[in-house]
């Protein structure tokens, strides 16, 4: 009898260890880091080191991000987007499923914002010196600006499933306003597909998180204080948010800009004028389940400015925080939907 009991205990303990082969060490926050899309990524997963190794998580992450670049980077000459941009044909061009997903959301947000978010704005971005082409010494003249404006517009772009086409040969797509957010989404989806439910994914400042830290606390995110410091070295915390299972994206004007003729030029263009935005809004933070949507919306609201952006965010039920420059420092405004995330 005793022997049977002992055997049962032994069998039981063998089957328990067999069920949890990688649970020998406790779960902690494992940091995975690398470079993508001209910036860095930082990913925290709550797991055991064995789990992360066995799943080959970092290789898988690098693999999907490499694919995003091969599809959507204008810096890679033979990427899908570059081949479409270079082509002067108005025939259908088949794009991969991921690229189509980003295009679909970009077009949806473009229509929702009546053209304030416009992924065909590329020629203007390049004209003002923020694209893969060279940075100009000074602002372009009005004639060149008017000519470039005729080369943009979402009405000239058509997406039907995975078939993409353009009406004018020079149409050029630039997804830099939304691609990082998409990268965050697919990495988050990859992590979840591998059975990890507590994580934080960050690519170049765009984030998406789920669940808890290894301590059992909710993830907290620090929104940076907008300091107009060209060196970008001075950083401070403006606000702490607890986004729960959501993505957080910030579009800010205080890091990427150039100065010419004694004027600061933003890297965000108002497609209505063809010129860089010129208002006192310095950053917009959006919280949304999708990082791609949050990324696109933060730029959209940035183009609109505080007043129109607030009205748009309220109307469309967007969780948004606006930080503006005032005479005496900074002021902030947020929608009711954003308030729940403030710490």
Task: Work out which of 268, 297, 318, 321 binds ligand ADP, going by CB under 6 A.
Answer: 268
Task: Work out which of 102, 117, 164, 241 binds ligand ADP, going by CB under 6 A.
Answer: 117
User: Does 251 sit near Mg ion (CB under 5 A)?
Assistant: yes
Stretch that binds ligand ADP, among 6-14, 76-84, 240-248, 263-271 (CB under 6 A): 263-271
Number of residues that this document lists for the chain: 343
Cβ–Cβ < 8 Å for 302, 295: no
185 binds, among Mg ion, ligand ADP, none (CB under 5 to 8 A by kind): none
Task: Work out which of 36, 177, 198, 306 binds Mg ion, going by CB under 5 A.
Answer: 177
> Phi and psi dihedrals of 249, rounded to 5?
-130, 140
Considering beta carbons, is residue 46 or 268 the nearer one to ligand ADP?
268
Alpha helix (H) residue ranges in the chain: 2-19, 49-55, 57-72, 80-86, 97-112, 122-127, 142-149, 179-193, 291-304, 306-315, 336-339
224 binds, among ligand ADP, Mg ion, none (CB under 5 to 8 A by kind): none
Question: Checking phi first, is residue 171 left (phi over 0); if not, alpha (psi -120 to 50) or beta?
Answer: beta
43 binds, among Mg ion, ligand ADP, none (CB under 5 to 8 A by kind): none
Considering beta carbons, is residue 243 or 274 the nearer one to ligand ADP?
274
Considering beta carbons, is residue 45 or 119 the nearer one to ligand ADP?
119
Considering beta carbons, is residue 36 or 51 the nearer one to ligand ADP?
36
267 binds, among ligand ADP, Mg ion, none (CB under 5 to 8 A by kind): ligand ADP
Q: Interface residues for ligand ADP in 174-203 (CB under 6 A)?
A: 174, 176-177
**Interatomic CA distance for residues 318 and 298, integer angstroms:** 10
Candidates 183, 298, 292, 189; CA nearest to 247 is 292
CB of 285 to ligand ADP, least distance (A): 11
Considering beta carbons, is residue 91 or 233 the nearer one to ligand ADP?
233
**Interatomic CA distance for residues 131 and 258, integer angstroms:** 13
Residue nearest Mg ion by beta-carbon distance: 299
Q: Interface residues for ligand ADP in 239-258 (CB under 6 A)?
A: 251-252, 256
Considering beta carbons, is residue 52 or 267 the nearer one to Mg ion?
267
User: Structure tokens of 139?
Assistant: 């602002």
CA 27 vs. chain centroid, Å, equals: 28
**Interatomic CA distance for residues 93 and 103, integer angstroms:** 13
Stretch that binds Mg ion, among 112-120, 248-256, 263-271, 332-340 (CB under 5 A): 248-256
Q: Measured on CA atoms in the order 110, 290, 343, 336, is the torsion positive or negative?
A: positive
3-state secondary structure of 264: strand
Q: Interface residues for ligand ADP in 280-309 (CB under 6 A)?
A: 295, 299, 303
Residue 140 DSSP one-character state: P
Residue 156 DSSP one-character state: G
Task: Work out which of 121, 164, 207, 320 binds ligand ADP, going by CB under 6 A.
Answer: 121
Burial class of residue 214 in the structure, from the number of CB atoms within 10 Å of its CB (0-12 exposed, 13-18 middle, 19+ buried): middle
User: Structure tokens of 169?
Assistant: 């040969």
Stretch that binds ligand ADP, among 41-49, 164-172, 187-195, 265-273 (CB under 6 A): 265-273
Q: Measured on CA atoms in the order 211, 212, 214, 220, is the torsion positive or negative?
A: positive
User: Does 299 sit near Mg ion (CB under 5 A)?
Assistant: yes
Candidates 77, 72, 66, 30; CA nearest to 50 is 30
The site for ligand ADP (CB under 6 A) is made up of 117-119, 121, 125, 130, 174, 176-177, 251-252, 256, 267-269, 271, 295, 299, 303
The site for Mg ion (CB under 5 A) is made up of 177, 251, 295, 298-299
């Amino acid at each position: 009898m005793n022997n049977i009991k002992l055997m049962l205990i032994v069998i039981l303990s063998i089957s328990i260890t067999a069920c949890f082969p990688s649970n020998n060490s406790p779960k902690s926050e494992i940091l995975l880091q690398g470079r993508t899309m001209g910036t860095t990524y930082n990913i925290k997963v709550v797991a055991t080191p064995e789990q992360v190794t066995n799943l080959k998580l970092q290789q898988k992450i690098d693999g999907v991000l490499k694919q995003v670049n091969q599809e959507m980077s204008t810096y890679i000459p033979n990427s899908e987007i570059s081949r479409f941009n270079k082509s002067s044909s108005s025939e259908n061009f088949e794009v991969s499923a991921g690229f189509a997903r980003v295009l679909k959301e970009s077009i949806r947000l473009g229509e929702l914002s009546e053209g304030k978010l416009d992924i065909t704005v590329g020629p203007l971005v390049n004209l003002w010196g923020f694209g893969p082409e060279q940075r100009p010494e000074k602002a372009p003249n009005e004639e060149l600006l008017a000519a470039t404006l005729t080369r943009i517009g979402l009405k000239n772009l058509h997406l039907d499933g995975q078939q993409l086409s353009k009406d004018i040969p020079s149409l050029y797509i630039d997804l830099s306003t939304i691609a990082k957010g998409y990268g965050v989404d697919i990495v988050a989806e990859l992590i979840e597909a591998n059975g990890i439910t507590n994580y934080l994914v960050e690519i170049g400042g765009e984030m998406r998180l789920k669940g808890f830290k290894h301590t059992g606390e909710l993830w907290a995110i620090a929104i940076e204080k907008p300091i107009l410091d060209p060196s970008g070295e001075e950083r401070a915390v403006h606000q702490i948010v607890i986004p729960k299972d959501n993505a957080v994206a910030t579009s800010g004007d205080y890091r990427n800009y150039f100065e010419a003729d004694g004027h600061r030029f933003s890297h965000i263009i108002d497609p209505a004028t063809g010129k860089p935005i010129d208002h006192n809004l310095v950053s917009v933070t959006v919280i949304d389940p999708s990082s791609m949507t949050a990324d696109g919306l933060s730029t959209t609201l940035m183009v609109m400015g505080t007043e129109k952006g607030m009205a748009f965010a309220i109307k469309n039920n967007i969780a948004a925080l606006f930080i503006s420059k005032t005479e005496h420092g900074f002021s902030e405004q947020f929608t009711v939907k954003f308030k729940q995330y403030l710490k």
